[in-house]
């Protein structure tokens, strides 16, 4: 949390009462009551939370991590907050400075490489959170009732959208722990190259894909060369950042065969942004900015034809909740190595994210892209 300098006026009891009243007036629009008795009502453990109530996401998130406030259904609280557009009613001064810093950031900064620090050294956390395939993206719950089945359905959906056939050469740009490359090679008989920025993901994916026609590389997306019949990329565009959207799509265009298909799987938002959320930037993924539909459209112009656009956002709400339930069940085996603040950080991230997707403020989009447009059109797969 923000520390008050000795020379700064310290908040008084009157200041905190005024802040509480102002906050409650806003939360009323979302049917949320401070210290109420419903699962989505936040409970105050320490009055200092009102010192930072309007200081931005970083301060609020850290106040939760430090135990200044609680909420039984954090996901539902955030859903109500976002559905009522309360984020637009809060007048927070930090946002302008954050946007200025984003504009000053070098366009050459490989933000998705910075994100490797999230994965390296945290394998046991992801094993405790994800499904047995270690798929680290939105699952597909259309006919599934378990996370494992939903992630298998998602992998099948991606392969069917790409129309994979034996002998094809496929690129997975941002292969994570290797779930897609393994599934595509084993089930569809394709040769796959997976690209990751994480050394731990590299080792893990190489180990699980032994004996399959799979190559895993530690490489920056702009350095990939060769020619591929199909390209798949999940979760990378948001890590690339708005200044490098065009560079990312140009990199895919350069290696995709003229008649090939590109399946882009990305989180997205309703508004174009140039800067990352401060709390997420500090604690989860540095530089992550969810692209808007407008930003994607501008970045692919004159490079690709958009053949299909599929919104799976509600499925990610279920996925995030399932990830939290997995982690919660595994916490007794992890608590000796991770402290309570980490536990609260991971809970805040997963459940607050679920609330954003439930409120339809965030989305997961799958776009099928071609270089020249498919003659007769693309038969949409669902």
Structure tokens at 75: 């996901």
Give the residue from 261, 254, 227 showing the smallest Cα distance to 377. Answer: 261
Averaged over successive runs of 10 residues, the pLDDT of the chain (382 residues) comes to 53 93 96 98 97 94 98 98 88 44 42 55 94 98 98 98 98 98 98 97 97 97 96 97 97 97 98 94 95 98 98 98 98 96 98 98 98 95 95
d(CA 120, CA 202): 10
The rounded distance, in Å, linking the Cα atoms of 246 and 253 is: 10
Q: At what angle do helices 147-162 and 179-188 cross, to 10 degrees?
A: 60
Cβ atoms within 10 Å, residue 235: 20
Q: Token pair of 158, please?
A: 């991606």
Q: Angle 313-273-269 (CA atoms, 0-180°, nearest 5)?
A: 10
Phi, psi of 362 (to 5 degrees): -125, 155
The alpha-helical segments, DSSP class H, found in 3-83 are: 13-27, 57-65, 74-83
pLDDT of residue 137: 97
Strand ranges for the chain from DSSP E: 43-44, 69-70, 169-173, 191-196, 214-218, 228-234, 256-269, 305-311, 362-370
Specify the pLDDT at position 10: 81
Phi-psi region of 121 (alpha: psi -120 to 50; beta: other; left: phi over 0): left
Q: Among candidates 91, 92, 75, which has minimal Cα distance to 83? A: 75
pLDDT recorded at residue 89: 77
Instruction: Write the DSSP string, 1-16.
Output: -PPPPTTSPPPPHHHH
Q: Which CATH superfamily is domain 111-338+360-370 in?
A: Vaccinia Virus protein VP39 (3.40.50.150)
Given this model, what pLDDT does residue 274 score? 93
In this structure, are residues 132 and 148 in contact, taking their beta carbons and an 8 Å threshold? yes
Name residue 378's beta-bridge partners: none
pLDDT in tens, 83-100: 999 988 775 544 444 444
Q: What is the mean pLDDT of the chain?
A: 92
CA distance 83 to 176: 32
Query: Start-end ranges of CATH 3.40.50.150 in the chain?
Result: 111-338+360-370
For residue 333, what are the CA distances in angstroms to 113, 125, 200, 324, 327? 30, 10, 21, 15, 10
Q: How many CB atoms lie within 10 A of CB 114?
A: 17
Residue 220 corresponds to which tokens in the numbers above? Answer: 């920056």
**So what's the pLDDT on residue 1?**
45
Q: Would you state the pLDDT for residue 98?
A: 43
205-250 pLDDT per residue, tens: 999 999 999 999 999 999 999 999 999 999 999 999 999 999 999 9
| pLDDT score at 101 | 45
CA 68/CA 59 separation, integer angstroms:
11
Taken in order 35, 37, 40, 45, is the CA torsion positive or negative? positive
pTM score: 0.91
- Residue 22 to residue 26: CA distance in whole angstroms: 7
């Amino acid at each position: 949390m923000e520390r008050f300098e000795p020379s700064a006026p310290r908040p008084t009891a009157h200041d905190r009462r005024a802040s509480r009243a102002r906050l409650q007036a806003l939360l009323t629009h979302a049917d949320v009551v401070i210290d109420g008795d419903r699962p989505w009502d936040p409970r105050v453990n320490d009055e200092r939370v009102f010192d930072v109530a309007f200081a931005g996401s970083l301060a609020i998130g850290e106040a939760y991590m430090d135990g200044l406030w609680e909420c039984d259904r954090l996901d539902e609280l955030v859903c109500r907050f976002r559905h009522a557009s309360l984020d637009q009613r809060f007048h927070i001064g930090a946002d302008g400075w954050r946007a200025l810093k984003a504009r000053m950031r070098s366009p050459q900064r490989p933000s998705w490489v910075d994100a490797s620090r999230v994965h390296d050294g945290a394998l046991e956390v992801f094993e405790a959170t994800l499904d047995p395939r270690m798929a680290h993206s939105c699952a597909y719950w259309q006919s599934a009732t378990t996370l494992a089945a939903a992630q298998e359905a998602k992998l099948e959906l991606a392969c069917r959208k790409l129309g994979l056939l034996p002998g094809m050469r496929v690129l997975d740009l941002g292969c994570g722990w290797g779930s897609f490359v393994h599934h595509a090679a084993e089930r569809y008989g394709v040769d796959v190259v997976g690209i990751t920025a994480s050394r731990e993901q590299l080792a893990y994916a190489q180990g699980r894909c032994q004996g399959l026609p799979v190559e895993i590389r530690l490489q920056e997306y702009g350095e990939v060369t060769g020619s591929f019949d199909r390209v798949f990329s999940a979760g990378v565009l948001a890590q690339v950042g708005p200044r490098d959207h065009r560079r990312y799509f140009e990199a895919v265009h350069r290696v995709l065969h003229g008649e090939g298909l590109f399946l882009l799987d990305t989180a997205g938002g309703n508004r174009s942004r140039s800067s990352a959320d401060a709390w997420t930037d500090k604690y989860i993924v540095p530089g992550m900015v969810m692209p808007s539909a407008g930003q994607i459209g501008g970045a692919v112009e004159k490079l690709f034809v958009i053949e299909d656009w599929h919104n799976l956002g509600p499925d990610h709400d279920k996925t995030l909740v399932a990830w939290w339930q997995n982690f919660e069940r595994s916490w007794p085996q992890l608590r000796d190595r991770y402290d309570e603040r980490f536990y609260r950080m991971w809970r805040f991230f997963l459940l607050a994210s679920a609330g954003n997707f439930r409120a339809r403020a965030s989305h997961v989009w799958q776009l099928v892209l071609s270089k020249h447009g498919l003659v007769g059109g693309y038969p949409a797969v669902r």
